[in-house]
Amino acid sequence: MIIDILTLFPESFSYLNCSILKRAQESGLIKINIIDIRPFSKDKHKKCDDYVFGGGAGMLMSVQPIYDSVMSVKKDNSKIIFPSPSGRVLTSEQAKQLSKEEHLIFICGHYEGVDQRVCEIFHPLEISIGDYVLTGGELATMVIIDCLSRFIDGVISKESLSEESFSNNSLEYPQYTRPADFMGYKVPEVLLSGNHKEIEKYREKMSKERTKKVRPDLKDD
């Protein structure tokens, strides 16, 4: 998969060069390009924002630099994503669908947002990462990329995906590693028993209990 990120703040993206995402890029499963929008501005001072018509607080990102930067990377198979608090909230299922795309383009808004004509021209998929407002789309872009990358074959193991939170509309059971006793805090006996049937039963029970308590809104399936 090729991912092009269009942003006024390319320095925000060092997280993508760590750990699992770093390995995914090194092994060629994902190619991430971070593209600075500013050089695309036709303004003589390379300005990329302006006041809001009709009045209102703050500045909006202008349409021209975004338009030209999108056109510099857009192909027939590109899916354009605009992270925004006005979009539908990201789900695991949506991330899984996006992981099947060949080319993603992320438009990172900043300040008060972007000129609406960006959406009128490109009809991007607007995705929110939660009901709160961030200072820009950069963090949201990284959240979406991190989440969808885990569904790309080879990025993480298949078992990790099937057991984790949200995979069956439920939260993951608690897990432990060595030592079996840390300052008197003991690992539940059943997990040390080697009885796989009992372990599975225990995990299912814990997962159900946790989901009911913390996220009763998740529908059991």
What is the C-alpha separation between 47 and 64, in angstroms, rounded?
10
Residue 63 within binding range of ligand ADE, rule CB under 6 A: no
Q: Closer CB to ligand ADE, residue 65 or residue 85? A: 85
Pairing relationship of beta strands 78-89 and 103-107 according to DSSP bridges: parallel
What is the C-alpha separation between 104 and 97, in angstroms, rounded?
12
Beta strands per DSSP E along 74-131: 78-89, 103-107, 125-128
One residue of 3, 5, 60, 137 binding ligand ADE per CB under 6 A = 137
x-marked contacts with ligand ADE along 95-134 as a string, rule CB under 6 A: ---------------------------------xxx-xxx
Residue 7 within binding range of ligand ADE, rule CB under 6 A: no
Q: Closer CB to ligand ADE, residue 35 or residue 134? A: 134
CB of 84 to ligand ADE, least distance (A): 5
Q: Which stretch binds ligand ADE (CB under 6 A): 2-10, 11-19, 46-54, 78-86?
A: 78-86
Task: Find where tokens 């008197």 sit.
Answer: 184
- Alpha helix segments (H runs only) across 27-116: 63-73, 92-98
Burial 25-40 (b: 16+ CB within 10 A, else e): beeeebebebbbbeeb
Helix (H) or strand (E) holding 34: strand 31-36
Residue 12 within binding range of ligand ADE, rule CB under 6 A: no
Contact 72, 105 (CB under 8 A): no
Q: Which stretch binds ligand ADE (CB under 6 A): 26-34, 81-89, 157-165, 177-185?
A: 81-89
CB of 201 to ligand ADE, least distance (A): 39
Q: Closer CB to ligand ADE, residue 7 or residue 84? A: 84
Residue 5 within binding range of ligand ADE, rule CB under 6 A: no
Q: Closer CB to ligand ADE, residue 109 or residue 170? A: 109
CA-closest candidate to residue 140, choices 11, 12, 50:
12
Q: Binding residues for ligand ADE, per CB under 6 A?
A: 83-85, 128-130, 132-134, 137, 140
